[in-house]
Amino acid sequence: MSSHSKTYTAVQAVAPGRLELTRKPFVEPGPGQVRLRVEACGVCHSDAATVEGAFPIQWPRVPGHEAVGVIDAVGGNVEGWTLGQRVGVGFLGGNCGHCQECRKGDLVNCRNQEFTGIHHDGGYAESMIARASGLVSIPEGLASEDAAPLLCAGLTTFSALRNAPARAGDLVAIIGIGGLGHLAVQFGRRMGFEVVAIGRGPDKGGLAEKLGAHHYIDSSTTVGIAPALQALGGAHLVVATASGGDAVAQAVKGLRPRGRVIALGASPEPVQVATSDLLFGGRSIEGALTGDPDMADATLRFSALASVSAMIETMPLGRAPEGYRKMMAGEARFRIVLTM
């Protein structure tokens, strides 16, 4: 056996902002784990937590939490997953099954959950180890590169919309038509909502319509998004995919009574809302973090059934640093996917 066949190619963060190509020795999966031969991995804005060192990271670390691959080794105590099966791994690395949150069935908030590509190596690589409890089954008709962005961007938006109290025919607004938003608009349309897309500048209007939005609001105009939403009758639900506290605060004023804002974009900017805007009409703001493995399965199934797909640009693994820089500069339209 040549030494080359005992190692695999990976792209790892070695210092804040620095990604480099390397070769790592193959690892056997431990109990409760499987090893994947990675076929595709999405480049997500949350990868910045690893690459820029926003989380306490042990360098070097391979980023990537939208990984799709084929199981090529199965560790002990793993049931329900087989060699050769195509699976995905999202941001949540797999729940422990024994903490208080797991026992309640709240797998997303498991206290012993590791984040893929942060606490352990992720998918910017030809091989990776994953906890079996975090695996997602990939439907046959879905190509690996198309499935990858659905494991984080897709799951996050689908989960928020599906768990929300909005019903078919209700007015649902999506703030931001980027990596998350362009999927949220498609999901919203296919779930039967009256969809309002909110973006910056008049140029996004055509894209919003193509994605399925019934209305487009240009947030850069002086009117403001709240009066524009109220002119449409007020939103039952606003999903804020773009980060920024001001947009969330404005959205609250655009809600009808009992309306809800769900914030998905992480931002250090605080959300400043007058309590009167919440009290009168019983309006609310909540945050949502991705979804559990069952919801991930549902996201992929629904996307395949309803023909929802991310607009992607593929790049070979070796160009990961370039793909990451492009995504950080906001130049991706709309998701970059690394192929192995």
Pair 115, 41 in one domain = yes
Domain boundary among 287, 310, 328: 287
Q: Which domain holds residue 112?
A: 3-149+291-339
pLDDT of residue 1: 47
Residue 51 has pLDDT above 60, yes or no: yes
Residues 6+ apart with CB under 8 A from 115: 49, 55, 65, 91, 92, 93
Pair 282, 296 in one domain = no
Pair 283, 228 in one domain = yes
Pair 174, 266 in one domain = yes
Pair 299, 253 in one domain = no
Pair 188, 326 in one domain = no
The answer to whether the beta carbons of residues 284 and 274 sit under 8 Å apart is no
pLDDT of residue 139: 95
Q: What CATH number is given to the structural domain containing 211?
A: 3.40.50.720
**How many domains does the chain contain in total?**
2
Q: Could you tell me the pTM of the whole model?
A: 0.95
Residue 34 has pLDDT above 80, yes or no: yes
Pair 58, 136 in one domain = yes
Q: How confident is the model at residue 3 (pLDDT cuts 50, 70, 90)?
A: low
Interatomic CA distance for residues 195 and 215, integer angstroms? 7
Interatomic CA distance for residues 72 and 84, integer angstroms? 6
Q: What is the pLDDT of residues 215-268, one digit of tens each?
A: 999 998 878 899 999 999 999 999 999 878 888 999 999 999 999 999 998 888
Residue 54 has pLDDT above 50, yes or no: yes
Interatomic CA distance for residues 115 and 132, integer angstroms? 14
Pair 328, 232 in one domain = no
Pair 51, 124 in one domain = yes
Interatomic CA distance for residues 234 and 218, integer angstroms? 16
Pair 101, 207 in one domain = no
Pair 8, 144 in one domain = yes
Residues 6+ apart with CB under 8 A from 108: 92, 289, 290, 291, 292
Q: What CATH number is given to the structural domain containing 21?
A: 3.90.180.10
Pair 93, 193 in one domain = no
Q: What is the pLDDT of residues 132-169, one digit of tens each?
A: 999 999 999 999 999 999 999 999 999 999 999 999 99
